[in-house]
Every structure is written in structure tokens, then in C-alpha cells.
Structure 1
Amino acid sequence: MKKLLFVLFFIGFAQTYAQSTLSGTITDTDNQALYGVEIYAPQLHKGTTSNEAGTYELKNIPNGKITINFTYIGYKTISKTFNFSNGNIQFDAKMDASVFEIDEVIVSTPFNKLQSENVMKVDRLSARAIQKVGAPTLAEGITIIPGVSQVSTGVSIGKPVIRGLSGNRVLVYTQGVRLENQQFGGEHGLGINGAGIEGVEVIKGPASLLYGSDALGGVLYIQPERFAAEGQTKVAVQQQFFTNTQGSNTSLGLKSSLENWQFLARGTYAIHSDYKIPTGQLVTNTRFKEKDLKLGVGFHQKNFTSEVRYNYNDSDLGLTEGFGEQSRETHLENPYQNIQNHILSMHNHIFFGDSKLDLDLGYIVNNRKEFEEHEEHGHGGGAAPDPDHDEHEEGEAALNMKLKTFNFNAKYHLPKFGAVEMIVGVQGMHQNNKNFGEEILIPNAKVNDIGVFTTANYTFDENTALQAGLRFDNRNITTERHEIKHEAEVHVFEALDKSFNSFTASLGFKTVLFDMFTTRINIAKGFRAPNLAELASNGVHHGTNRFEEGNANLKNEQNYQFDLALEYGSEHFEVFANAFYNNINDYIFLSPTGEVEDGAPVYTYLQEDANLFGGEIGFHLHPHPLDWLHLESSFETVIGKRASKLYLPLIPANVFKNTLRGEFQVNNWLKNSFASFGVQSFMDQNRVSGFETGTPGYTIANLSIGSDIYIGKYKFTGSINVRNLFDKKYINHLSRLKSDNILNPGRNIVFNLQFGI
């Protein structure tokens, strides 16, 4: 990998500095200059802003076709592609006012178009929108997107659920590479801190064509924080305080950009005590701590641009066993987990005039440890101690797995032929899992992936487009044989050597049927190869309090999904309706056997065909002349059944979400002010699997206020969020503490302050 990095940087240094520049003036339709418009080139990871006269200048742009986006709150986004060739281009823009959300450029889809132009429906949340929610974790923050929920364990642990599918069926991308952190486990979180991100995109539906295995149910695409505008240096501080957990999140960032180099660094520290339920009790050992470090370096020269990022995340997560000592202590008790992630990524663009090559490289190290009450027994024939592993006796992790993953993604954008854009690509992954603890849940193993694909987009006119693609994947999994002695039992991990192949395809069509009425129809095939836990687990998983037994005979999951998205938008009213039908062949699920081993109930992995169907419907009203008022409402539903007519587990309840929001520009020093009141009504969930229980419905309310405050040249952003305003007693159907009848958190007041220098 070091040689490859050197070659890519040599390509850049071998070129002479680019001479291309884009400049101009930005005004509104009344020819008034617009100050603070963001001019940004996603392919170059660089940008600038317009000054008080509305003028701007973006220098040192590589030769080739580069897309530049002009965005400004309250105005429609302009996205335009320029062909640069060692020269200066003058572009004066007039921006149209828009009361609705900015039309964002979608980066998780292959052609990086505006959402209004995209064939696939993708939901996006900006970092600012997530912060307004006041959620303690990123996984909880994105649940405001219709069709997205989370499997949670208290407030610290959350896994995204997209239209009823979760775990390995939802692929997470961060820094442009797929995140591999033993994500099959439902009892630990994303491992990504919400500080230092630009936004989150959610693809609801099969995305195997773009991302391969594990994208059968959807993709969570996390965009990293942008570098500073050229020639600028910024320092940003963020502080949050949570009354329910008496928790604190502190983040400090620094970023600076020169003509050809960009730098950023951000450190974050979070600490929370046990969460309080509406009865006033504390749920013992739900406390958690998190340390997060993000670093980035960008470089660009003629025909070449590169971005290197590193993220280190260290999380200590308590695993509750119910109600015990009532304390605001932050020191974790047994059992608890320590999860460490190292994510190193390199994102490159090489321009060849009318075509370009995108090359993403990622190296991820995940170390997952589970600590429990010490038992007097040794390795018993298990994994041998590693010379790099520290032995700790009483403090030694019972479960200690280290996963190392190298992945790559190369996409070549062919020269545009008329109205046809086309991409060919290859993706791959090499993964190595090793055990160092006295207990083994899954064996030492190696995983190798390779996939090749092509996709094309045909634009009939500005309102109509057709997109199609085809892909082939191969995954090979090999494991080592182990025998583990535990009390009176011997757990045997037989060696495996399995290969899984799959063809996937997608077809999408987007058109504007009538004035402002957009229709999107997508048909896609996805797949997911069984993971290591499903194939080879054989032991007690203390994080889930069950004995998990793998099934070496599992086959690929294959699905076909049909999506229909309808949208209507006028100056003061938007409405949407999304419907889907998802047929999954050989759906893999955990099922209790009725046996008990090592004091825990035994669960094994089985397969059966399944179907999921449902959708989301909603509207956004901005009545005239009350230009400051917004009313947003949505309803979402999912039904999941196996072929045997039994319901699938972990299907979220139907939910009705309503938000009344006011937005104000008070004066020159108080801008972008808002106040919102939201009500979420969850229906009874009685469509449950055989080992689940029903969940009664409930309604919770949230309140938020905030504003940008300008003092001289400094901007402060403050907000107060009150979650579960009326201290409602409830249990979410997807709470992993539901089986112990432990309530979800009570009222939580979140204070947030950010300021930049």
C-alpha cells in the first residue's frame, strides 16, 4: 500500500501547477449581491465563499470537466459542470429564492447529481440538521428521516434500521470507504462520532450494484467535514450538555487551506453517566465514554487531487444487567465493551480531459473487547496469546477480537457520449479476523471480496433520465479450526472454506410527469453473503446474553425490490409518497432452539424466504404570507413476513411524525433563529416474531430553540433541545432492553453551543 500511495502522490507532483480559475459575481434575481454563498467543487474537496460585493474566485482548478456547486440558505442550489483547460472562466450566477430545503448534490450515487436530477431517491441530513435534534449519538440523530429507525441499547448503543432491515444488511460508508467493525453485532454502535461530519445520506433499498455485499437493505453514507475555504484558517469549538445522563460532549476543530494543500484536525471527548427513566430510577451501567480524533490532508495539482483522512475512535460502553446501585458514577462496571476503530482512507481523482479515474483506498483496524466477571480458567486450547497482546489477569478481556480490513474502489468515468454517461469499476476487500481472548465467539478467519460493475445514465432532457447497471461479485471465507473448553463443554469451530457468487442489476427511471410532479421508479436486485457470525459462531455472546450457534450451510441472501417515489413541489407546498416491495430469498435469522448451554439460551441461524413492504408519505407546508412558518408531517410503515406467514423480528412500529417550526431573521446580530415543536406517535406493534412480545403505542414530544448570534466578526450558534418533553413512560419496540421491561430515557434537556474563530 505504501508503494501505491507513493505512486499516486508522484503523479501529482510530476505535474505543473494548474492555471485554471473560476471567478464571477453572484446576485439574486433583483441583482442584489449575495454575501457568503458557498462555491464548492466536491471532486476537488475545495471551495470558497462570495464576499460582500458578491464576487468570488476559485483558483488552481485541475484540467478536465469539474462540477461546481453554488449553495446558499434560502436559495436554490446551482450545479454546473465546466471544462477547464489552463485558462480562466468567468461565470456570473443569479440565484432564485426557495423557501424549502437546499437541493443537495448526492455523493453516494455514481454520477453525483443534484437530488432533483437523481434517478434514485436519496435522503440527506446536514450536520446542522442532526445537531438540531439534540441526540446523544449519530444513529439516533438520523431517525428523523422517514423510514429510518434504530435498534438501541440505552442511549449509547444504536444500529440503523432502514425499512425493517439492519445489521449486516445496512452498509455504512465513511470517508469514502466501507466501514468494517464487526458490524454484525447489534450490541455496539456505529463507532462514528457525529462531530466532524458534513452530513449523512441514506439510500433506502438495494445498493449492491454500487457497493457489493451487505448493501442489500440500504446504505448509510457519512460525509466527512469539508476543508476550509482557500486561504482561510478556522478554529471551531462545540460543547454539549445532557441533563438526563449528566453527560458532556466537547469538540475542538482546526482547519486551514493554502493554494494546493488543505489540513484539518478535530478532537472530541464524550462522557455520560447512567440514563434516567421517567420513574426517576437510573439504569445501572448504561454509562459510556468516547474519544474521537479526525485528521485530514488534501492536495491538488494539475489533473490530480488527493485527500487522506484518519479517524480514531475509542468507546467504552456499559452493558446493563438491570437496576442496581443508583449512582452518577462514570467508571464502567463489568460487563462492558471497549471498541477501538482506526480508519485510514485515501480518496483520489485523476483527470484525463473528458474522462477521469476515482480511486478510494481504505485500511481499517477494529479491536473489540468485552469484559465480564473474571473466571478462573485459562485458554483451554483456544487462541494462543499474541506477543503484541498485553495480559491483564483480572482486567483481561474475555472476548477480544481484532479485525483488519483493506479495501479499494476504482471507478473510471468514460468520456460522455452524447447524452450517455458511463462508469466501469472494480471493488475489493481483504479482511483478517483474529482472537486474543479466553473466549471465542467467531473463529480466526480471512475474507476476500472482488466485484466488477458497470452503470450508465441516459438523460433524455432536463426532466427525464434512465439509469441501469450490472455487477458480478465473489466472496471467499476461510476459517481456522478451534476447540474451546468452557466449564464442562467443548465448543468446536470446524474449519470452513466457502465461496459465494452473485450477479446484481438495477434499473431506474425518473421523469417529471406534470409541472412540478416528479416520478421515480427503481427496480434493483441485491445480495448479501453470510457473515462470520452466521456461519461459524459457537459460544456465549455476553453482550446479547445468548449462546449463538452458526450454520455452515447458509446460502446467499438475494432480494428484488421495487420502489416508487412520487413528489410534488410548488412554492409553498411539497408532498411525497414512497412505496416499496422487497422480496428476499433465503433470509437469515436467529431462532431459539429451546436448549440451554453454558447457562445461556441457545440461538441458531436459519433461512427462509421473506417479504417486506410498506412506505412513507408526508408533506411540508409553508403558508403564504406566513413566510416564517413550516409544518412538516410524515407517516411510515413496514410489514415483514417469512414465507411461513410468521412475522420477521425487529420490525419498527408504524409512526406518525409532526413538526411545527418557525424560522426567523431577527436582526444583523441574530440570524437563522428557529423554534420547533415535534410530536411522534408510535402505534401498537403486535406484528411480532415468535420470540418477541408486542409493544403498546405511545406519543412523545420534543421542543427545540436556537439561533446564530453574531458578535463583531465572530459567530456563535446556540440551541436548547428538550427531548421527551412530558417525561413519557415508554419502551420502543426496537429497544434491546425491552425484554427486561426497562423504559427508554425520560426527559433530557440538551444545551448546545458552537463558535468559530
Structure 2
Amino acid sequence: MKLYSLFISLFILLSSFDTMADIPAIKGRVTDADTQAPLAGATLSIPELRISVVSNQNGEYHFPSLPSKGRFLIEVKFIGYKSVVQTINTTSLASVDFKLEKSVIEVQEVVVTGTLNSSMNTKNSTSVAVVNKADLLRLPSNNIVDAISRIPGVSQITTGAAISKPVIRGMSYNRVITLSDGVKQEGQQWGDEHGIEIDQYRADRVEVLRGAASLLYGSDAMGGVINIIDPLPPSEGEIKGEFLTNYATNNGLSGTSAMIEGNSNGFVWRGRGSYKNAFGYNTPDYRLPNSGFHETNLSSQIGFNKAWGYVHLDLSSFRQKLGLPEFERNESGQFILEPEEEGEEGTVMSPSLYKTRNLFTPLQDIRHYKAALNSYVLLGEGKLRSTIAFQNNQRRELEESETDPSLFFDLKTYSYDLKYYFKELNSWERVIGVSGAFQNNKNKAEELLVPDYDSYDLGAFAYTKKTWTNTTFNAGLRFDYRNIDGKQMEEEGEPKFSAFSNNFSNISGAIGFTHEINSTFNLKANIGSAFRAPNVAELSTDGIHEGTARYEKGNPNLDPERSIYADAAVSYHTSKMNIFLNAYNNYIHQYIYLRRLSDNEIIDDHEVYHYVQDNANLYGFEAGLTLHPVSLIHFENSFSLTRARNNSTKDNLPFTPAPVLRNELRFEPEFKNLQNTWFSIGLDNVFKQNHVDVLETPSPAYTLVNASFGTTVKLGSQTLQLSVSANNLFDKAYIDHLSRFKNDGFLNPGRNISFGLFVPLVLSGVK
């Protein structure tokens, strides 16, 4: 309670800060560039200030309250038109009109918000891919990582339908950071079957930074960043909401979410509740029992958007129960339950257990609570952005009893992040920042896998960016320090862990470059260094983790991973075609991985694997071609390839995604009484993965056929968005190389038909 009182006190203090005078409202009109007709319903936003407005029936808009001085990017969007981005100076500007041009091809998002400064993607050297709300609704998924795994260069390590770990360019676990509410998600992400504790329905857009981002985020951002972004608050005087629901035939997944939000004179608020439920998923050959899950999410936001900036307080609660299908099969392929007494034969599982929504052991019970205070305050001619957060992750693993956990990790994380933006000088942007976190992890069950520990992080950086007409240059330097103190512990009266204390520090840097050759041709390049400190499992784990089928032992003498990386990207865009090519090379010194040191080392009937280090090299590319010859046809193609080598042993690294070619042909006809209608057919061509670690087996190639349909129906002033999607349409039997069920021989899901309904609601204000 004391902690939450502190958050409320800080919130009140920041919300009372009102020293900046308002200026007259910036206003204007949004019209069609050819016909001069007003465009009603166009969205105008200033992402840096987290404010947005919508044009009325006459195409008119106004921002009622902005800072009295400053330069900000304003983005204007309207369906069927090319987005416009313009920098406005609030010191002198009072009115601006926007003329939008029709566009038959969807361009990649123009404004990127997940980097240090909101900027046009063409002027941002980082390779960023964006999935917006429409795409998240169009593509059926079990969780947020599943929803973004079709981005070129992004894949997922799965444990059934409920658990997905993001993989970016071959790197995962503690090498990829996930941000939500501006906060690094902390939930024991070192574990093989530990997913991400985030409500997928909250996301308005997801930005994926492909490539090292240690300069911005320090340790653990060696592979990239997934930034999950909530919607901007509504326009002043507006109350709106949404209701969405979906159902999937394969595992009976039923998901529902409702949200309501409002803005009254700059006081913004939002509340959301979501629930998902599924039973065991079906394969072409059998249904996998106990692979279902339940998930309940609650979240809220209150805050102020004023002339001096904004302050927002976000609270969220995530709770998920999921089954782990660890069963053997008899000669007839039937799943059998373990015998009650050793030596007895197992009994054939009852058919009623295959589709039950009641989970049984082994299972996981995960709870994640978070409070985040985000603020953006104008101080003189500079700006201060801050995030202060608390997270509590409780992970219970229940092997035999549904009430008495075998493993129980209770992790508390306190974090802060402060960035100060100096006044822009001769087109030079300058930012300095400091961030840190304190973690305390306790075991609350008899079985121990990692010890109790405390950790402390501290980082500081300086960054600068210079913008010319068609060229940008950026550079930065960062220092990081991490301390981890493991506690001495006993298990069942016997010594289990010895106390240890490790300190890691690093200096990293990066430079980036972009150049717009002309309005259609863009180049990007980056070179730099990155850093990752070993996690607690790599340093100290000692035991059998549920589902891994191996005994793992940590090494307290591990060194941090350090990398030298380079990447480059080229894109070509016209009104009817978009082409891109991204290439990267990442050399990692002291890469940490698991390896058997002796074939004869057996503990509790399990082979023993040790965390060791060698030098590694990850390289590859992503390519894409989108054609839109006429407004009716959209043809999208992408290809991704990653190679990951152990330079010391000359073997391949584990869990390297197979090359994949994706093709989608979408028809977008116009109907009199329907809007935004599409029909699509797609192919996912996954190639054979022969480049495997010595602990893995090759995976054969496979092709999946997908299809979908969607449209928007208008009933009076209310719109309804309907969709039907079929994944693995021909019920192909396959096992993905990154499935953790591969060693058990469990197939991936078969045919899945999903039905979706999305209802946006405007309860008062602009319609």
C-alpha cells in the first residue's frame, strides 16, 4: 500500500505542475488534394505529446491546448489516403491546413514512437516494423507474440498455444526486451516455457525494433525490442470505447475484451477488461490434452494532458493458468495417465479430458501486477520524459497438486527511466538519460531451481542526431552496471546453493545513418556494440525445470556477452510498389548456451547440461515485395533467413528459425453498403532446417495455406467489423522447428477457423 501511495503522490504532484501558458488552439482543415472536398473522420495526432483529434463533417480540426513553445511532429491519417507528416512550431503557428492525396498502396507507418524521438521512419536508422490495430484484428492469434510473428525477421518459440517467446533475428530469451506502458517487462523470461504477461487486446500498435538496441535500453536488448503501445487518449470532450470478441474452432478459444475511455478538459481515463479461455488444441492426428489455458486481464489509466505535457498512471493485472501436456502414448497412440504406484501400467486417458476447459496438473499459474507512472514535462526550452514503475511477477508451477506449487517464484521489480531532451540547435537533437532497476526474487515453495537473489542495474547514456534535408546522422554512448547477489539456500535440509556476488559493467556505442536518395528511394545503416549480462538462471540454476526434460547447471563464473554488429537497409516505394531489403551481421563474444560436458553425467535419471560460453556469429537478411497494381489487388511477399554459428565448435546455435517465404494475395473490392472489405489467400512456405545444434534434429519443410475475409458493416451511425480467418486450411501435419513440443513428437495445431467481431463505440463527442 505504501508503494501505491507513493505513485499517487507523484501523480498528483506532476498533475499540479502548470507553469506553461496555453496558446490559441492550432486549427485548420483536412481536405482531398484533388477535389478539395472535406475529409471527415481524419485522425491528427502528436505522438510525442500523446494527444489526438478527429476532423468533423467539414474537415475541421483543432488542438485546444498545446505547449507555448516547441517543435513537434503532427501526423494526419485517413483510410485510402497517403499519410502526411509535418513539423509544427507552436511558438508562432496558429493555423495549418492539410491536403491528402489518395493512395492505392499501404505504406509502412510514417511515424515511429519507440525510439528516443518520434520521427519519420525514413529518418530513423533503426529497422522498425509496425503492426497496427487493423492488422492485429485481421490476423487471428493466441497471444501478442503470435500476432506479430509474421513480421519478417520475427518468429516465436512456442510451448503449445498459450506460451510464445519472441525471436528476433535468431535471438530470444533475455536477448529481446518487451516494453509495455513504456516499461521493460520482467517476468522470469529466462525460462523455456515462460511467456509474456501482456493482454494482447490492449495494443493499438506494436513496433518491433530489429537489431541491437543496447544504446537505448542497456543489457538484454542485444537482439531487439518489442514495444507494445496503447492507443492515444481520445479528443477533448469525447467518450468512446470498443468491444471485441473472437472464437477459434481448433481449441475453442473464446476471447472477449471491452474498453471505455474519455477526455474531459485534459483529464484522461481508460478502463479495460479481457478474458480468454481455450481447451486442448487439435492436430490432424489427435487432440492434445491439457494444452488449454485461461486468462483474465484488467487495466486502467488516469492522467492529465496539459499545455506543459502529460502525466499518466497505468495499472494492470494479468492472470493466466495454462496446462502442460506432459503425457506418454501407448502403441495405439492413445495418451495415458501416469500410474499411481511405481511399476503399475498407466491408464488410458478418458475422452472427456481431451476437450475439457478444466485444467489439470502439471500446470502453471502466472500472475503479473504492474503500476507505471509516465510523464512528459516541458522544462524551460527542454523536455523531461520519465517512467517510474513497479512490477510483481508470481509464477507457480504445479506438478502434482493444484494448490501446493512445486516451484513458486515471486519477483518484484522497481525501475526508473529519465531522459532530458535539450533544445534543438541548428538541427542537432541532444538527449541524455539515466535508468536503473532493483529486483528481489524469492522462492516460496520447497523445490528450488534458482536461489533467492537481489539485483541492481544502473545505466547512463548520451545521444545526438543531426538532420539535413535528406540525410540524418545519429550517434550515442552508454555505460551500464549490473550487480547480482545470490543467496545461500538449502533444499530439504541439504545445501543447495552457495552465496555468490557478480558485478558486470560495459561501455557501448552506436552510430547510424539514413539518406533519402529521392522521394522513393531510402537507405539506412548502423554499426555499434551491444552488451548482455548473464541472467540468474545462467549463473546459478541447479535442477530439472518442468518441461525441459534435462538437468541444468549454472556457472557463476560466466562473463557478459558483448557484440559488434552492423546492419543496412534499402527500400524503394512508389504508389503501386514497395520493395525492401535488410541485411545484418552480429558477432557475439562469449555467447552463453547449454552444452553437455560429459555423456556419463546423469542426475535423477536426466542428462546434465551446463551453461558455457563460446564466440558466435548471427547473420542473415529480410526481403519483401508488395505490389498494388490497381486498388482491387494487394500482393504481399516476404522472405527471412537467419544463420547462427558457434565459431568455437563450428556447430550451429540452437533454436535458430528456419527460412520462411510468405505470400499473400488480397482482394479489396468496393461494395455499396460495405466498407474496407477484403478476401485473401496466403501461403507460408517454411524451408527445411538443417542448420541445427548438436542437441537438435533437423526439421522438414512444410507449406501452410491460409485464407481470410473481412468487412465493415454500418448500421446507422454504428460500424461493425466482421472477419473470418482460416489457418492451415488443408489441415497439414507438421512440427515447427521452434516448437518445444518437438522432442515429444507433438504436432502443431491443425486447421483453425476464427470468427471475429470488433465494435468501435463513440458515446459522446465527435462522431
Distance 2:324 2:220 in 1: 27
The answer to whether the 8 Å contact 1:33/1:52 transfers is yes
Residues 712-731 of structure 1 mapped to structure 2, 5 A cutoff: 712-731=716-735
Matched, 1:338 2:365: yes
Distance 1:659 1:450 in 2: 45
Structure 2 residue corresponding to 1:511, chosen from 497, 509, 515: 515
Structure 1 residue corresponding to 2:535, chosen from 517, 528, 531: 531
The answer to whether the 8 Å contact 1:284/1:321 transfers is no
Matched, 1:697 2:701: yes
The answer to whether the 8 Å contact 1:676/1:704 transfers is yes
SS in 2 for 1:61: coil
Distance 1:38 1:162 in 2: 32
Residues 194-593 of structure 1 mapped to structure 2, 5 A cutoff: 194-279=200-285, 281-322=286-327, 323-324=335-336, 325=349, 326=351, 327-374=354-401, 395-461=403-469, 463-485=470-492, 490=494, 492-514=496-518, 516-593=520-597
The answer to whether the 8 Å contact 2:127/2:211 transfers is no
Amino acid at match of 2:690: N
| Counterpart residue number, 1:602 | 608
Q: 1:3 to 1:309 in 2, by over 3 A?
A: closer
Q: Give % identity.
A: 35
Q: 1:187 to 1:671 in 2, by over 3 A?
A: same
| Counterpart residue number, 2:106 | 101
Amino acid at match of 1:263: W
| Counterpart residue number, 1:385 | none
Distance 1:76 1:756 in 2: 23
Amino acid at match of 2:618: L
| Counterpart residue number, 2:652 | 647
SS in 1 for 2:283: coil
Greater CA deviation, 26-35 or 423-432?
26-35
Structure 2 residue corresponding to 1:40, chosen from 33, 42, 45: 45
| Counterpart residue number, 1:182 | 188
1:20 CA drift (Å): 4.0
Greater CA deviation, 88-97 or 547-556?
88-97
Q: Kindly provide the CA deviation profile for residues 540-582 of structure 1, in whole angstroms up to 9, marking residues without a partner as x.
A: 2113232221100101001111101011111211111111111
SS in 2 for 1:90: coil
Structure 2 residue corresponding to 1:9, chosen from 8, 12, 17: 12
The answer to whether the 8 Å contact 1:197/1:223 transfers is yes
Q: Kindly provide the CA deviation profile for residues 170-221 of structure 1, in whole angstroms up to 9, marking residues without a partner as x.
A: 0111110111011111202211121021111111111000001000111111
1:12 CA drift (Å): 3.4
1:88 CA drift (Å): 7.5
1:675 CA drift (Å): 1.2
1:58 CA drift (Å): 1.6
The answer to whether the 8 Å contact 1:527/1:557 transfers is yes
1:7 CA drift (Å): 4.7
Amino acid at match of 1:413: Y
Structure 1 residue corresponding to 2:77, chosen from 71, 81, 88: 71
The answer to whether the 8 Å contact 1:587/1:609 transfers is yes
| Counterpart residue number, 1:662 | 667
1:266 CA drift (Å): 0.8
1:19 CA drift (Å): 4.4
Amino acid at match of 1:427: S
| Counterpart residue number, 1:144 | 150
1:232 CA drift (Å): 1.4
Q: 1:472 to 1:599 in 2, by over 3 A?
A: same
Q: Kindly provide the CA deviation profile for residues 238-261 of structure 1, in whole angstroms up to 9, marking residues without a partner as x.
A: 111010001200111111111111
Greater CA deviation, 236-245 or 545-554?
545-554
Q: Kindly provide the CA deviation profile for residues 291-334 of structure 1, in whole angstroms up to 9, marking residues without a partner as x.
A: 01111112123313111111211010111113343421011111
Distance 1:244 1:145 in 2: 23
Amino acid at match of 2:616: A
1:688 CA drift (Å): 0.5
Q: Kindly provide the CA deviation profile for residues 614-663 of structure 1, in whole angstroms up to 9, marking residues without a partner as x.
A: 1011200111xx22201111111111110121110000111111010112
Distance 1:237 1:8 in 2: 29
Greater CA deviation, 512-521 or 90-99?
512-521
Distance 2:467 2:95 in 1: 27
Residues 626-645 of structure 1 mapped to structure 2, 5 A cutoff: 626-643=630-647, 644-645=649-650
The answer to whether the 8 Å contact 1:482/1:493 transfers is yes
Gaps of 5+ in 1: 375-393
The answer to whether the 8 Å contact 1:60/1:259 transfers is no
Amino acid at match of 1:150: Q
Size of the alignment, in residue pairs?
A: 729
1:427 CA drift (Å): 0.8
Distance 2:676 2:188 in 1: 41
The answer to whether the 8 Å contact 2:289/2:355 transfers is no
SS in 1 for 2:361: coil
Distance 1:601 1:373 in 2: 23
Moved segments of 4+, more than 4 Å: 1-5
| Counterpart residue number, 2:331 | none
Task: With the length of structure 2 as denominator, give the TM-score of the two structures.
Answer: 0.93
Gaps of 5+ in 2: 328-334, 337-348, 762-767
Q: CA RMSD in A?
A: 1.6
The answer to whether the 8 Å contact 1:287/1:330 transfers is yes
Greater CA deviation, 691-700 or 340-349?
340-349
Distance 2:14 2:299 in 1: 26
Q: 1:14 to 1:587 in 2, by over 3 A?
A: closer
The answer to whether the 8 Å contact 1:12/1:304 transfers is no
Greater CA deviation, 99-108 or 644-653?
99-108
Distance 2:686 2:14 in 1: 55
Q: 1:354 to 1:76 in 2, by over 3 A?
A: farther
| Counterpart residue number, 2:31 | 27
Q: 1:743 to 1:49 in 2, by over 3 A?
A: same
Distance 2:14 2:646 in 1: 53
Distance 1:723 1:371 in 2: 32
Distance 1:694 1:151 in 2: 16
Amino acid at match of 2:675: K
Q: 1:246 to 1:419 in 2, by over 3 A?
A: same
| Counterpart residue number, 2:58 | 53
The answer to whether the 8 Å contact 1:124/1:201 transfers is yes
Q: Kindly provide the CA deviation profile for residues 41-98 of structure 1, in whole angstroms up to 9, marking residues without a partner as x.
A: 223322110011100112122333233221122222223333335x871111112222
Distance 2:43 2:544 in 1: 53
Amino acid at match of 2:372: S
Distance 2:652 2:130 in 1: 30
Q: 1:7 to 1:750 in 2, by over 3 A?
A: closer
Task: With the length of structure 1 as denominator, give the TM-score of the two structures.
Answer: 0.94
| Counterpart residue number, 2:332 | none
Distance 1:639 1:516 in 2: 31
The answer to whether the 8 Å contact 2:73/2:119 transfers is no
The answer to whether the 8 Å contact 1:622/1:629 transfers is yes
Matched, 1:84 2:90: yes
The answer to whether the 8 Å contact 1:64/1:303 transfers is no
Distance 1:94 1:538 in 2: 64
Distance 1:78 1:308 in 2: 31
